[in-house]
Structure 1
Amino acid sequence: MTNLSIGIVLFPNLTQLDFTGPYEVFARFPNTQLYLLAETLEPIKSDRGLTFLPDTTFDQSPPLDVLFVPGGIGINAKLEDRKFLDFLQTQGEKARYVTSVCTGSLLLAAAGLLQGYRATTHWLYLDLLELLGVEVVNQRVVIDRDRITGSGVTSGIDFGLVLAAELFTEAIAQSIQLQIEYNPQPPFESGSSQTAPEAIVNSVQAASKNNLDNRLQIIQKIIQPGRS
């Protein structure tokens, strides 16, 4: 059987769990080759200080069956990086599935890959995704034809299992879920803006205001007509 190819796009200041959660699931797929893709093979540091080594440059990347993009504070720089977005666009136009977790969907949208699709992102940034011309859905994982997007950070494991069922079978997805003992029982009901106490939601919004404002300015600039 021909190997399935999954490309995980890395960039400085990404959120490591956005990709390491899905990676743990992807790595258990049968007959699958994973590529850790970046512009160079230099080490990449996450937004919380962990360092990772890409294994394939953008120029060396084969055509991908699955294009996967994580998020993180580092997307701010990449939203205006034409070479980076061109790589996503080129691979996304040919991929069997175009996917993301968290604010990786903002990068897909900036590359023109989510317009006309339903998609999601981290709850703080749903309005920004909508500004980029995407039909926004506030749910854990959204499937719209060949686009699959996960919401915030930890949704990456759910997303990975959904992709497993799409690519293979529900039995394979369930087997992987059991292998990694994915049986979440959170100690609090604060994992969603819809269930967390109002004071907690307000405090997280306040702590994220500067980043939200910066992203809004970037997106307003890139959606202006006539931009180069």
Structure 2
Amino acid sequence: MKTVALVVFDNFTDIDLFLPWDLFNRVRLRDKQWEVKILGTAPRHQSQTGLFVDTHGSIEEANTADVVFFTSGAGTRKLMRDESYLTRFKLNPEKQVICSMCSGSLLLAGMGLLNDISATTYPTAVEALKSFGVEVEEKPLVTHGNIATAAGCLAALDLISWVLEKTAGANIKDDVMASVQPVGKGLECIY
């Protein structure tokens, strides 16, 4: 069983949860050994636009997930130096794929996962990320081993594609990504 943990918190960015949720679950629909969970610190969290999302478990479950995907949003500013929050994560980039969208990189930096590597983030979070000593690259996707950061909500497509290739293989990645391309621009898919 492969588990993908999508980490949310209050004031998360909607698209940075819902797009990965949809695409990762397209893998689950064809492979019952694939599980996608939304994890948080409460039974439900509210997005920046006011939507409530029920969680499937606590953030500690991310410690055993194959993939840990941090969403973004204004809530990251409150949590990026919150030791009582950050120390609940015991992530291992040797064994797990760990990634973030936009300001979710602030949480990775707060945990020390971006020490001595470069990263990307949303333009309004660049200075906050630099405050951790991280070299910030102006790119949609920056990867180092099993750690990836993406910037700009639609860079989620690049990030999810990278995660799928690492964890499910090129064929599944191609099928999933083709399933969301505008008509006439994608590969033929099975969905």
Tell which structure's C-alpha radius of gyration is larger: 1
Amino acid at match of 1:66: V
Q: For residues 158 and 40 of structure 1, what CA distance do their matches in structure 2 show?
A: 29
Distance in 2 (alpha carbons) for counterparts of 1:110 and 1:60 = 19
C-alpha distance 181-37 of structure 1, shift in aligned 2 (>3 A):
same
Alpha-carbon distance in 2 for matches of 1:179, 1:93: 29
Question: Higher mean Cα deviation, 104-113 or 116-125?
Answer: 116-125
User: What amino acid maps onto 1:173 in structure 2?
Assistant: K
Per-residue displacement from partner, 1:35-82 (whole Å, max 9, x unpaired)? 2111121x2110111110001123555611111111101112212322
Unaligned runs of 5+ in 1: 186-228
Alpha-carbon distance in structure 2 between the residues aligned to 1:48 and 1:71: 13
Secondary structure (helix, strand or coil) at the match of 1:91 reads coil
Alpha-carbon offset, residue 174 of structure 1: 1.4
Match of 1:35 in 2: 37
8 Å contact from structure 1 (residues 67, 92) kept in 2: no
After TM superposition, give the deviation of residue 124 of structure 1 in Å. Answer: 2.7
Alignment root-mean-square deviation, CA: 2.1
Q: Which residue of 2 aligns with 1:15?
A: 13
- Within 5 A, what are the aligned runs for 1:78-227? 78-88=79-89, 90-92=90-92, 95-181=95-181
Q: TM-score, normalised by structure 1?
A: 0.72
Name the aligned partner's letter for residue 38 of structure 2.
L
- Provide the secondary structure at the position in 2 that maps to 1:163: helix
- Give 4+ residue runs of structure 1 displaced > 4 Å after superposition: 59-62, 92-95
Q: State the shift of 1:16 in Å.
A: 1.1
Deviation, 1:175, is 0.8
- Match in the other structure for 1:71: 72
Letter in 1 for 2:122: H
What code does the residue aligned with 1:155 have?
A
User: TM-score, normalization: structure 2?
Assistant: 0.85
Which structure 2 segments of 5+ residues have no match?
Answer: 186-191
Distance 1:101 1:61 in 2: 16
SS at match of 1:12: coil
Q: Residues 35 and 139 of structure 1: is their aligned pair in 2 closer, same or farther, counting only changes over 3 Å?
A: same
Deviation per residue, 1:124-146 (Å, 9 max, x gap): 32233222122222111111111
- 1:87-138 CA distances to partner (integer Å, 9 max, x unpaired)? 23x1345642111001000111011111122211112322332221222221
Which SS does the other structure have where 1:116 is aligned? Answer: coil
Residues 129 and 94 of structure 1: CA distance in aligned 2, closer, same or farther (over 3 Å): same
| Greater share of strand | 2
Q: Secondary structure at the match of 1:154?
A: helix
Give % identity: 24
